[in-house]
Amino acid sequence: MLKQKNEQNRSAKPWLKTLKTVALLGLMFLSSGCALDGFQSTVYGNGPVARMQAETFWITVVVSAVIFAVVGSILAYSIMKFRVDGELDKDAPLPEQSHGDPLTELLVVFISVALVGIIAVPSINVVFKAGTLPEDSNPLVVNVTGYQWWWRFEYPELGVVTANEFAIPAGRPVKFNLESGDVIHSFWIPRLGGKMDVVPGQDNWLWLQADEEIARGKMIPGVVKNDNDGREDAESASLSTGLLYGHCTEYCGDSHAFMRMRALVLTESDFMAWVDGQKEPAPQPITDSEKLGKELFGQNCATCHTQNHDTAHPQPQYPDLTHFGSRSSVGAGIMPNTHANIKEWIGDIEHIKHGNKMYEEGKLRGIDFEFTEQELNALADYLLSLK
């Protein structure tokens, strides 16, 4: 019987080996997805808040690693030293029993308190620093509203409203006032730091600041750059700069995973130029296709989507599209803002972003027909012309 079992074990071993290899390879692939300097890295901060949070993280990692190494070593030593060699003798007497050693216990308590202190002091320090604007800092104020599933950005002092993609000046603190238009969201731009929940009926805020080195045009690995068209160049993204990725980090319904945003980091003068551009009315269409697109937009889309900062009929619950063509992404940061993607977005929105509020009862909201290919082309042409 015993012999049979051993044979079974032996024959099972190649499988076990294969399983282990597959598991190891799987782990390797999984861990390769965890690049430390990725677009949404929290450990390579590009601003003072992100850096002080990352420092606290590393202190915690080092302290935890030391605890793991010491406790793990003692455990491994005990297992090796006191294991039973050969058959277990059930009649053997118990080893000598003791009731602890006060000195060792005091020492362990002291070490534990010291370790907690090493983590707690910088943590509390960061909590207060992140919750207080730097003195004499003249912050830029941005009111952020989270909606299912996109972000509205309003610059109350500058008269600018935009959606999903917003600009900030490098080297200056930005105070984000966070509101929700529906459910709980969470605002997070990992490379700048954060994050903060966006809760209905509660005034949360946080301040973040981007380093001057990452203003558009400078080169820092891992930070995405806009190309001249204002569209993301995925090929060179890992080597270029200017655009930081953000994400909603509180589960908020069907398309939570598609509730993204992009922060465009600009020099102070480029930022003021951006503000001037955003305050301009939407450009007039030039080509015939753009003209048709504008007409279609006016008839079918303008009920919800405002343009030209229409203060008489404000519709804050829908993205403002005045300068849609200047944004690098469509659908709240989920795909590059290209002609083909806009057509796909309008033509097949439920498939791209499930639960999208632009889609109801099996069709585009408030639209009883399907756009023809020509009409989709015209709408895409017009939307892209809105620089």
Q: Which residues bind ligand CUA (CB under 6 A)?
A: 146, 149, 185, 248, 250-252, 256, 259
> How long a stretch of residues is the chain?
387
343, amino acid identity:
K
Least CB distance to ligand CUA at residue 207 (A): 21
**In terms of CB distance, is 185 or 225 closer to ligand CUA?**
185
Nearest distance from residue 337's CB to ligand CUA, in Å? 21
Sign (positive or negative) of CA dihedral 215, 161, 330, 256: positive
Nearer to ligand CUA, 174 or 261 (CB): 261
Nearer to ligand CUA, 160 or 248 (CB): 248
Q: Which is nearer to ligand CUA, 177 or 267 (CB)?
A: 177
Cis peptide bond N-terminal to 195, omega within 30: yes
Query: CB-wise, 260 or 327, nearer to ligand CUA?
Result: 260
Nearest Cα neighbor of 284 from 305, 300, 307, 312 is 307
**Residue 171 or 181 having the CB closest to ligand CUA:** 181
Closest among 217, 206, 323, 321 to 269, alpha carbons compared: 217
- Residue 148 or residue 300: which is nearer to ligand CUA going by CB? 148
Measured from the CB of residue 146, what is the shortest distance to ligand CUA in angstroms? 6
Q: How far apart are CA 284 and CA 386, in angstroms?
A: 8
